[in-house]
Amino acid sequence: MKQERGIYCIETARWTAGGRAQPSVEPLLKLIQSTQGTPYIHRPFSTWEECHDLLGDAMHGRYRGYPILYVACHGENRRLALRRERSNGHRNGAIDLKELAIPLHRRGNGKLILFSACSLLKASEATLRRFVADTGVNAIMGYKRDVGWIESAQLELGLLAWLARRPVANGKPLSAALAELRSARDLMRELEFRIVPKKGR
């Protein structure tokens, strides 16, 4: 029986750019579901606390069939741009990778995380490797620079559909497997899309 490879998406409820509301990524998920049957879960969040809880929820055993975690949020220079309900001594709206790893700590084995967030993966190689090691995920993916909605949606639609169809985690190394995705190569290069796998993958 073919293993279900669903997408668990958590998305900011506050998409804006230039003072205008921006569209949700959920239509991308609906298109993938309608064309290839990929199941998905979509959960919105407004604050870091809500995002934190949803990240932890995505790691629960009941979502074993959803190995692709898709995190869609505004990003800014190695951080997620989120407001906090409580500051706890942190600067409001600055969620760095170290803090982002906390709800995922050593629970991410078998998971791939796609961050749809501007400049989040602009961090150093050591910082990104530490995030992968601390969380246990098979790989993280995302952008080193600011990206537009249309360009990122084009790449993410193809990438998510491809990942859902192929058991990459149980096959060849992710970087080698993604080399087969010819349609996305130019966009990955143009958008400075980065892939950081677990060692040996």
128-137 confidence digits (pLDDT tens): 999 999 999 9
pLDDT tens per residue, range 137-152? 999 999 999 999 999 9
pLDDT tens per residue, range 146-183? 999 999 999 999 999 999 987 654 445 676 677 778 77
| 184 pLDDT more than 90 | no
Beta bridge partners of 41: 8
Q: What pLDDT sits at residue 178?
A: 74
Confidence class of residue 201 from pLDDT cuts 50, 70 and 90?
low
| 47 pLDDT more than 50 | yes
Residue recorded with tokens 């998409």: 15
Query: What top-level class would CATH report for the domain 7-197?
Result: alpha beta
Most confident stretch, 17-31, 155-169, 184-198: 184-198
Taken in order 62, 167, 174, 183, is the CA torsion positive or negative?
negative
The token pair at 128 is 């990104």
Q: What is the pTM of this model?
A: 0.91
Q: Where are the domains of the chain?
A: 7-197
**Cα gap 42→46, rounded to integer Å:** 14
Q: Read out DSSP for the chain?
A: -PPP--EEEEEES--EETTEE---SHHHHHHHHHHH---EEEEEESBHHHHHHHHHHHTSGGGTT--EEEEE--B-SSEE--B-S--TTSPTT-EEHHHHTGGGTTT-TT-EEEEE-TTGGGS-HHHHHHHHHHH--SEEEEESS---HHHHHHHHHHHHHHHHHS-GGGSS-HHHHHTT-HHHHHHHHHTTEEEEEPTT-
Q: Which of 153, 143, 156 is nearest to 195 (CA)?
A: 143
| Polymer length in residues for the chain | 201
Q: What pLDDT sits at residue 54?
A: 97
